[in-house]
Amino acid sequence: MSLAWAPGLKPRWVREGRLAVSPMPRLGEEEKIVSMFNTVISLSPPSEHVLSAGYDPRSLPRLKPGIKVVWRPIGEYNAPTLVELIKILRGLQEPVLVHCFRGCGRSSVVAAAWLIVVEGFSLPEALVEVSNRTGCGLETAPQLSVVEAVDLARRAGLIDNLYTVFDVDDPVPEYVLLLARRLSPLAQRDPVEEARRAISEKTLLLEIAQKLSYRLDYKVAKIDARNNELVVLVWVPRRAHPSNVRETSEPLDDLERDLGELLSEWLGREIRVKIDVKPPSTVPWL
């Protein structure tokens, strides 16, 4: 089944002359793209390019030798991995165009992370700026989670460490950062310092993140703390399109118990853990 016709190149500048977000350019707009940009980041899978009569990113270097093309396919409503997002931001040649199909959720992830890492924006400032500049913004839980992780990694001075030490498909650093972000206030600790210590000194927080990774792989979409309960929202694997994922289920009572014991030890007081598994068809909207 064909997708709707590609919306076409409609650059919305997040920073004038430096980084723009757009819906999917159409076939025939390649000359216009290379005349305006030195880096193009496509977050659309090949099917979105082909079935919607979109352009082919591989054609751009033939029209403009030296243009940088970053093609990182991400399923709709999903997000890149943390290390992948950091890699996307490395070595960009401005001006930069970033697009997915509609130019909203997936593209907004990269734009917000760029404002945080390159421009030094705080997380709230970046989210508001992207929304105001593009007319849309982040849409789902995994998109917000990875940007929250980037924000804490930047404040903790961990960006270079994550880029050089961890594999692009390793969820552990993102889980460490999300746990530090949510739990440190409950323990009256500094999340920046706890994240830094977990990565450099391999504290108990890292062990907890590793246990999450071992059982859930890169399926955690959100981690939240409510009073004496930690809620772990599980969805489809990171990057995957929900329509391509088969629903599965397995008992996770033992994981909830084990995590509760470890987290209670880290916090110094009892905390329960609830793992909430959403089917692929239930998109965890913000």
Nearest partner of 242 among 184, 275, 285, judged by Cα:
285
CB 141 within 8 A of CB 233: yes
pLDDT of 2 above 70: no
Question: Using one digit for the tens of pLDDT, what is the confidence trace for 111-147?
Answer: 999 999 999 999 999 999 999 999 999 999 999 999 9
Average pLDDT over residues 101-117: 98
Average pLDDT over residues 260-268: 96
CA distance 81 to 167: 10
Average pLDDT over residues 240-246: 95
CB 211 within 8 A of CB 249: no
Nearest partner of 173 among 141, 216, 219, 205, judged by Cα:
205
Looking at the chain, the whole-number percentage of residues with pLDDT higher than 70 is 99
pLDDT of residue 36: 98
Among 122-126, 187-191, 245-249, the least confident range: 245-249
pLDDT of residue 248: 85
Among 2-11, 62-71, 164-173, 214-223, the least confident range: 2-11
pLDDT of 4 above 80: no
Confidence of residue 1 (pLDDT cuts 50, 70, 90): very low
Question: Using one digit for the tens of pLDDT, what is the confidence trace for 72-101?
Answer: 999 999 999 999 999 999 999 999 999 999
pLDDT of residue 3: 64
CA distance 116 to 22: 20
Looking at the chain, the whole-number percentage of residues with pLDDT higher than 90 is 96
Q: How many CA atoms lie within 13 A of 119 on its CB side?
A: 18
What the chain holds in terms of domains, given with CATH numbers, is 12-136 (3.90.190.10), 147-277 (no CATH)
Average pLDDT over residues 56-83: 98
Question: Using one digit for the tens of pLDDT, what is the confidence trace for 28-42?
Answer: 999 999 999 999 999
Confidence of residue 227 (pLDDT cuts 50, 70, 90): confident
